[in-house]
Structure formats: structure tokens, C-alpha cells
Amino acid sequence: MTDFLPAPGTDEHLLHHQGYRQELHRGLSLWSSFSVGFATVSPVVGIYSVMALGAMSTGPSWVWIVPLCLALQMLVALVYAELASQYPLAGGCYQWVKRLAGDRWAWFTGFMYLASALASLTTVAYLGGFWLWLFVTGTPPSANAQVASGAVLLALGLGVNLLGINPLKYFVNAGIIAEAIASIGIGVLLLLFFRNHSWSLLLEGLGNSVSGDGTYLSGFVTAMAVGGWAFLGFDACSQVSEETADARTSTPRAILRSMLLVGLTVMLTAFAVTLSFTDTAGLVAGQVVDPVTPAVVDAFGAWAERPFVGVVLVAFIACVVSVQTYIGRAVFGMARDSILPASAFLRRVDGRKVPFAAMLLCTLFASFGLALGLNATAVGTLIAFGSGGFFMVFLIVIGCALVHRLRGRWRPDAGVFNLGRWGLPVNLAAFVWLLFESVNVAWPRESLAPPGAPWFQVWAVVLVFSTLAVLGLIYMVLAKPYLRRDSSASDRG
């Protein structure tokens, strides 16, 4: 029990009402919470994830996938905003499912979320290692060098996170401002002054039909799977709710604004690069892995290459820092309910009010995962699962929200942000979208795997998710972690 009760109506009072005490520092404003979400989704990281693969699937017309996926993912973000407004707690989806569907589903959801998030952290650090090495040396890295550079990024991110929430927010804010200005500025300049094609190009598939059954429809569906990858991570805002002032109002706004602004930035860059990149046929044929840098260099000159690489590196660093931040809070949010191994250690908060033990653990696991980067097949499997796993977790959360909304056991109007009479149709549409996209992303496609990839990499999402799900269920049945409680970890009513 605490020595005093928080004043009614405050963030601390709401936290106390949910059964916890304020242990983290509420130093984030709406802007800072938005910055965490923006840095995690990251338009630069997103566009590098989808552009080449999207063009290979449907040709230049792939760009229309971006606004479509943005609109559909906004449905998910709206329901997440309702949940975050009513339950602004560290642990995010774990906490929401716990209150909607009970402890068993909550534990399983949290377990799968952590697995997907750790795979994502390893992936971002690994991909960012390429840009760090390229920026420092001017040459592409070897496999060993890229893994080592990724480890440097993880160490840098950990150092920033352990300084506390105030240094963290200034670091992320600076990175986001630089990324936003560079992304939007370059996109506008390319569109206005360096277009090499007419707008009609965006309606062409260039006869491309490399995926699926050889039809444009199959290519379009494949591009939908790729396009969804660009809009993962917006829920990071919910993980820092206990460090956000007026979280019931600020967190939903941060979720929606980060998603919308990232989406518009990705859309601008996609249109601009597609219309300015000269070797369109090479891009569609899969001969160009990175069309963005050549487009910038061709437009502005060779001098622009190194500054642009620096901008991309800043984006990856900010993304690594933000992903570490929200995974650490997710681990902390679960550990204080004593449902993770070594929970007593993982819920520890240091003098800067940082869950340092959780931060160390997630960085350590991601570092182990980097070793997979020594083998292109293994890292490809990790990247595929990192994206697909999130859609599975989205589906669980949105499905729980829909079932309990229909049963009348969840009333979103208890939160500051709610969709009113639009809540049910939005929730239903989000569920249908996620059901489709989860299957779509997991669907085994050789066209999305490297040439000559083994069968298990093509089936990576299905195999890894199924294996983790079975292991998680076995542990849940045998150890019953959802029954553990430690009253010393938090205030109980």
C-alpha cells in the first residue's frame, strides 16, 4: 500500500485505480509521445521496406497500395486509440487483453507481442548497421561488419534509454525533426523539379506479373502484404502511457497523429521516387534493391549521397532507440504482474525511473538475434516473422475488442476518446482487414524471399509463429504464469 492516495482525476489516480503505483517518470508531452510513435513507424525505414518489393509485384502502380494500407491500418489505430484512452498502461496490448478477455489470453498475447517486437528490434538494428557502416566507410559492409555495426546501434540505443525519459525525448525529437524535414523536403523537390515521368506512369503495371498465379490481382495482393509492413509500430505510444502527461487524452492523439503523418510522408516519398527514378524497368524487374538513394543522387548530384545516407542513418538510430523504449516498457508492464521468468528483476526501476533491467534484457536478446545476420537465410526468416507476428497480435487484440464490444462487456465510452456509434463498424472493418492481412502476410511466396531461398524461409511466418505459439501454450499450461501475483510489486485495491 502507498502512504497516500493520488488526487482524484490525475494520471496517478487512474493508475492507482487500475492496481498500480506510479514508478516511471511522467515526462512526456503529447509531442514527445507522438515522436516515439513516429520514430518507431519511421517513414524512411518504412519506404525502404516496401518500395522495391511493391514495384516488383505490380509495377509503378504499386504506389496506390500505400494510401489503401494507410486507410485500413487507420481503422486498427482508431480501436487502439480507444483502448489506450481507457487503459493508458505500460504493457499496452497485454493490459488491454487482460481486462477484456482475462489473464490466459493476456499472457499469450503479451508473449507473442514480445517475440515479434524483439524480432523487429533485431531487424531494425541489423538493417541500420548497413547504413552506419556505409556512412563511416563509404563502402557496403560485409556480413560480419553489418552485424557488428548493428550491435553498435543497440549499445547506443541502450545508453540513450538508460539516461532517463527527458534525454530520451530530446534525442528522439531531434531525430524525428531531421527525418521529417529531409523526407518531406526531398519528396517535394523531386516532385516539383526532378520528375522524369508523367503522372500516367502510376497507372501502369508494365506487364509485370511475377508473383502468385501470374495475374495482376495476385501481384496486387502481394503488394498489399508488403505495404502493410510500412505501418507497424504505431502502438509504441501506448507502451509509454505511464510516462505521458494526461495520457488518457495524449496517447490516443499520439497514436493517430503518428500513423497519419508517417503514412502521408511514405506516400509522398513513394510517389516522388517512382516518378523521378530513371530505371523503372530495372526496378520492376527486381534489379534495384534501393531506388531511393540513386533517385536523390541523380537529382541533386553526387555530393548529396553522403548527407542523404546520414539522414537515413539518423532515422534508423531514432527507430532503434524508440523500439528499445517500448519493448522495455512492455516487459516492465508484464513483469510487475509477476508473469515472466525473473519478474522480480525485470520490474526493477532505477533512480532515473527507468526500467533498466527490462531494457538490458531486450537489448541482450536482440544482440543474440543479430548473430543470425551472419546467415542471409536466417536473417530473412527473422525479418519475415518480425512483420507477420505483429499482424497476428493486432488480430488478437482487435478480435477481443470486437467480441466484448458485441457482448456489451467493453464500453469504450468510459475513455476520453471513443468512436461513439462508429465504434462497432470500425472495429468490425478493422477485424476483417487484419484477418485478411494476417493470412496475406503469412502466405508463403517465393517472390518475397531471396532467390534460391529454402522452403522454411518461404514459410517463415507460419513456422515461427506456430512454433512460438505451441511453446507458449505448453509453458502456459505447465507453469500457469497467469496465476502468479506479487502484491509487493504494485498497489492493489
Q: How far apart are the first and last CA of the chain?
A: 8
Least confident of 98-102, 154-158, 420-424, 451-455: 451-455
pLDDT at 228: 83
pLDDT tens-digit profile of 116-128? 999 889 988 998 9
pLDDT at 166: 81
Q: Give domain status of residue 227, yes or no.
A: yes
Q: List all residues 6 or more positions away from 331 whose beta carbon is below 8 Å from its beta carbon.
A: 114, 340, 346, 355, 358, 361, 362
Full-model pTM? 0.89
The whole-number average pLDDT for the span 421-437 is: 95
The whole-number average pLDDT for the span 163-177 is: 81
pLDDT band at 145 (very low <50, low <70, confident <90, very high): very high
Identify residue 149 by its one-letter amino acid code.
S
Identify residue 262 by its one-letter amino acid code.
V
pLDDT at 205: 60
In this predicted structure, the answer to whether residue 40 has a pLDDT above a threshold of 80 is: yes
Range from 3-12, 425-434, 461-470 that averages highest in pLDDT? 425-434
Separation between Cα atoms, residue 465 and residue 215, nearest integer Å: 29
Separation between Cα atoms, residue 244 and residue 22, nearest integer Å: 12
Separation between Cα atoms, residue 247 and residue 28, nearest integer Å: 9
* Run of H or E residues at 264: helix 247-276
Long-range contacts of 468-472 (CB under 8 A, 24+ apart): 468/111, 468/112, 468/115, 469/108, 469/112, 472/108, 472/111, 472/112
In this predicted structure, the answer to whether residue 264 has a pLDDT above a threshold of 60 is: yes
> Minimal CA–CA distance to 54: which of 200, 230, 188, 179?
230
pLDDT at 5: 63
DSSP per residue over 179-216, as a string? Answer: HHHHHHHHHHHHHHH---S-GGGGG--TT---STTSSH
Q: Give domain status of residue 425, yes or no.
A: yes
The whole-number average pLDDT for the span 38-66 is: 80
Number of structural domains the chain divides into? 1
Q: Give domain status of residue 414, yes or no.
A: yes
Q: Are 336 and 344 in contact (CB under 8 A)?
A: no
Separation between Cα atoms, residue 137 and residue 126, nearest integer Å: 17
Separation between Cα atoms, residue 366 and residue 360, nearest integer Å: 10
The whole-number average pLDDT for the span 320-331 is: 93
Q: Give domain status of residue 12, yes or no.
A: no
In this predicted structure, the answer to whether residue 490 has a pLDDT above a threshold of 50 is: no
The whole-number average pLDDT for the span 451-465 is: 81
> Minimal CA–CA distance to 247: which of 425, 6, 417?
417
Q: How many CB atoms lie under 10 A from the CB of residue 257?
A: 19
What integer best gives the mean pLDDT of the chain?
85
Q: Give domain status of residue 440, yes or no.
A: yes
Separation between Cα atoms, residue 87 and residue 327, nearest integer Å: 18
Q: The cell 498475447 sits on which residue?
A: 109
What percent of the chain clears pLDDT 70, i.e. is strictly above it?
Answer: 91
CATH code for the domain of 306: 1.20.1740.10
pLDDT tens-digit profile of 265-293? 888 988 988 888 887 887 777 677 777 88
Higher pLDDT, 458 or 437: 437
pLDDT tens-digit profile of 185-212? 888 888 888 888 888 888 866 444 444 4
> Minimal CA–CA distance to 450: which of 369, 368, 366, 379?
379
pLDDT tens-digit profile of 361-405? 999 999 988 888 777 666 667 777 777 889 999 999 999 999 999
pLDDT at 434: 96
Helices (H), 277-375: 280-284, 292-300, 305-335, 343-346, 356-370
271 SS3 class: helix
pLDDT band at 332 (very low <50, low <70, confident <90, very high): very high
Maximum Cα–Cα distance for the chain, whole Å?
71
pLDDT tens-digit profile of 77-89? 999 999 999 999 9
Q: Give domain status of residue 6, yes or no.
A: no
Q: Give domain status of residue 73, yes or no.
A: yes
In this predicted structure, the answer to whether residue 256 has a pLDDT above a threshold of 60 is: yes
pLDDT at 379: 66
**DSSP letter assigned to residue 234:** T
28 SS3 class: strand
Instruction: List Cα–Cα distances, 318 to 35, 159, 167, 352, 400, in angstroms.
Output: 9, 13, 13, 21, 32
Q: Are 364 and 151 in contact (CB under 8 A)?
A: no
Q: Are 272 and 52 in contact (CB under 8 A)?
A: no
CB-based burial of residue 457 (10 Å sphere; 0-12 exposed, 13-18 middle, 19+ buried)?
buried
What does the block give as the cell for 204? 501502369
Q: Give domain status of residue 114, yes or no.
A: yes
